Each structure stands twice: as C-alpha cells, then as structure tokens.
Structure 1
C-alpha cells in the first residue's frame, strides 16, 4: 500500500491490434521501456485492440500513435518521449547520441 507521502509512479499503456498480430512488437517495446525506466515506471500494461491500433500512452496521455504516423517509430524515439515526461534530466546513453547526429 502506498504511503500518503509517496508519489504515484506513472502507468504506461501499449495498445496493439490483435488482428494485425502486433503482440510481439508491443511486448518488445514494453521490455525496452521497462529496462530503461525500471525505477520510474509504476507499471506497463499491454492492451489488446483492433482496427490497426498501436498507441503508447502515459497516464492516459497519448505519446505516440500509429494512426497519426503511418510508419512505426523506433524504441529510441519512444524512450525519448517517455523520458521527456517522467525524467527530463536523465541521459539515455546511446539512444540519445543517435538522435543528435
């Protein structure tokens, strides 16, 4: 049980299309984000959906959606989007260096 003074850690959701068979992509992305933000995230949930959906949400706020971007994004970009909201001063190592070039 959380104490009164403890801050609630964020909940990340990855909604994926079951018909498109995107569960492997969703689990891989969940693993990447949990490995990077294991101390900052409270949980990562995989949410089955249909209609070609693949969306990443943090506490209900959409961070990235395949609906608004026809191509899939990579793990480095999603890590940056999550980092910017939950740990803005944190460096991401090689993921961040790749985006600087």
Structure 2
C-alpha cells in the first residue's frame, strides 16, 4: 500500500503556501510512490511537520529551521522508495 504524506502547518504563521508548494513538489517527484499528500492546519502555533504515514520525517520546532525542498525530497525518498534517484538533488555540493 502506498503511503500518504501529511504536511501539518501553522495557519496563523501563514505557512499554507509553503505547505502547498511542498505538496506539489512531492506529488510531482513521487507520483508513482504515493497515495497522496494531505495538508492539515495545525492546532499548535508555530508547528510545521511532514509525516510519511505515522512517521515524522521533519519537524520545524525540532530542527529549528525549514529545510530546502531537496532535503525534504531526500527524507521522503528514504522512506517511500530508497532506491529512487533524485537526479541533481542527490548531488553533494563541491568542496
């Protein structure tokens, strides 16, 4: 069974557009791997979490900042399809 991703966001913080953007990116990248993406207004102020099924893969309060979309895709990929290549998003920055 394909997992559902839930993006829980703080509506008072104005994070709906960020959540919608991430949902679009995840649906595009993982269209064959997901059953869907759900946007869920959080009841806790300042909350922003991304869950794959019941597993929290990102929590803004725990991390202290937002991740770039490529980092979110890597976290989701590791849960839903570990062998999937993310192309340029998998490349490490030159040192």
The one of 29, 34, 38 equivalent to 1:41 is: 34
The structure whose Rg is larger is 1
Question: Structure 1 runs of 4+ off > 3 angstroms?
Answer: none
**Residues in 2 aligned to 1:23 and 1:90: alpha-carbon distance in whole angstroms:** 28
**Residues in 2 aligned to 1:16 and 1:85: alpha-carbon distance in whole angstroms:** 21
Match of 1:73 in 2: 67
Q: Could you say what secondary structure the match of 1:82 adopts? A: helix
CA RMSD of aligned residues (A): 0.7
Unpaired runs of 5+ in structure 1?
1-7
Unpaired runs of 5+ in structure 2?
none
Q: Number of aligned residue pairs: give it.
A: 92
* TM-score, normalising length: structure 2: 0.93
